[in-house]
Chain A
């Protein structure tokens, strides 16, 4: 019962963070929301008893891809619609 509630909360957080990624005009905030999405996915993997996959998802998805997005944003523009 409590596990189902936690999973519902995680899935709700996934949907909210995905909508935030879509709606942010500040690309840095959108990249951080995508990182939070990956963190919630890794939490869901841990709840489903796959800690190995959870460590991979947390390191690659939440860590490295967010860093790559931030490096790319630093080299271009920060807000959507600006000409670089």
Chain B
């Protein structure tokens, strides 16, 4: 069953927009609803859209399973590295040493009602990004393996 040209063109147009929205959900995880898992799942939806819209021969050259697997492992390493960062600074495991330090995501939170500053909350956004990368790679590789296991299509 080959999808029509409307479906394939629509998938090409929607693909970057879905990825940008997912990255927004990931990066603003400490300010707005959502976070690493939700944003990663949204980005994996973009991969699912491309897998559904194109045929097996067109996808085979585009997606590398080793790349997605490495991305999943990279997310896990980033998460555990953010935890060990606290140990290296002499604080407990997963201690939020980046908060109020002036470094990455290190500005103090302004008092009172405010629209929310992205550059706050210390190690929490780092962990959101790590979980987002991990969920993106993990859910995408599930779909890619399912898609390649079905192999040649009927009809």
Contacts and interface: CB of A to CB of B under 8 A. Distances in A.
A59 interface: yes
Contacts of B146: 68, 71-72
A52 B35 contact: yes
Interface in B78-103: none
Interface centre among B38, B146, B147, B155 (most CB of A within 10 A): B38
Count class of interface residues, chain B:
20 to 34
Given A75-B154, A76-B154, A52 B45 contact: no
A71 B153 CA distance: 10
Contacts, number: 66
A49 to B, nearest CB: 10
Q: Is the interface of B mostly helix, strand, loop or mixed?
A: helix
A25 B33 CA distance: 38
Interface residues of A, number: 21
6 contacts: A55-B33, A63-B41, A63-B42, A71-B150, A74-B1, A75-B151
